[in-house]
Amino acid sequence: MSIFQENVSLKSYNTFGIEVKARYFVAVASEDELRAVFADPLAKTQRLLVMGGGSNMLFTHDFDGLVVKMDIQGISHEIAGGQVSVSAGGGVVWNDLVNYCVSHGFAGLENLSLIPGTVGASPIQNIGAYGVELKDVFAWCSAFEIATGQIKTFGYADCAFGYRDSIFKNELKGQFIITKVGFNLSQTAQLHTHYGAINAELEKRNIVDPSIADVSAVVSHIRVSKLPDPKTIGNAGSFFKNPVIEPEQFKQLVQKFPEVVHYPVAEGKIKLAAGWLIEQCGFKGMVVGRTGTWKNQALVLVNHGGASGQEVYDFSEQIIQAVQAKFGVALEREVNIL
């Protein structure tokens, strides 16, 4: 009997809610099950897609290959001298891990509250929000090497983290499946509240000396106010990366648009707010057929019901062209296109 299901709908497995089918599908709950999948001759002949929460992908057509859904669970921790080591299975829902850490008083993940997706996907994308990135707390990850069936461990230096980037999106793309991730956290909080609207929301709540639980609650509130719930309206969160530009280009841009929203980043470069750029081009809350941008955040593309992936993709292309024409800035999609 085959371990693979055939012609499986992926609508409930992707947060855009796009109706597409996978030729073959299997869910795995352990490293041993993963080995069994790739020991099967069928797996060696199929195009492969590994899915976690399906929150960072846009399907533009059926997937003619094998979808492996990662369901490896479990969270554990060890404490030594105020430092906390936490590990979590690749299939754990990211926000469940954040809530676990906040409830135990482990600081470091609170700014990353309510980011959709799973733990296993977090190092690939080097997820980030409100001034914190995964790389700031990353210790190691275990990954299954598809070619050999072996589990290998990657430390921080091995992962070549960049802005929404890692070695798993580049040199090692498609070669490994992350099964477990380890994090270095602390019982002593070093809060990051300067980014975005965190401080303003804390002040509104009359919180002068915030805890990590306060920061997590505020970040969650801000995200909910800006972002639609995928259970209600299909979306993948931020569709575009915030562009990072050279100082010379920024100098020219700010002369023409003095109010441009920006943040300094490493090596003297400047990060622009993609949402602001898109909004200035008139796209915020726009509805085009069955797709559009979210009314509260122009960075989020949505499926109003029944949209195809191609419709969403074509609309994103309109946005890219409009921002390029107005600002001379090239937007890059953060969402994976399939």
Catalytic annotation, residues:
164, 238, 334
Measured distance CA(315)–CA(293) in Å, rounded: 9
Measured distance CA(292)–CA(233) in Å, rounded: 11
For residue 324, count other CB atoms closer than 10 A to its CB: 14
Are 296 and 226 in contact, with CB atoms under 8 Å apart? yes
CA angle 118, 52, 290 (to 5 degrees): 105
Measured distance CA(108)–CA(111) in Å, rounded: 8
CB proximity list for 56: less than 8 A, separation 6 or greater: 116, 117, 121, 125, 236, 237, 334, 335, 336
Q: Phi, psi (5° rounding) for residue 21? A: -120, 150
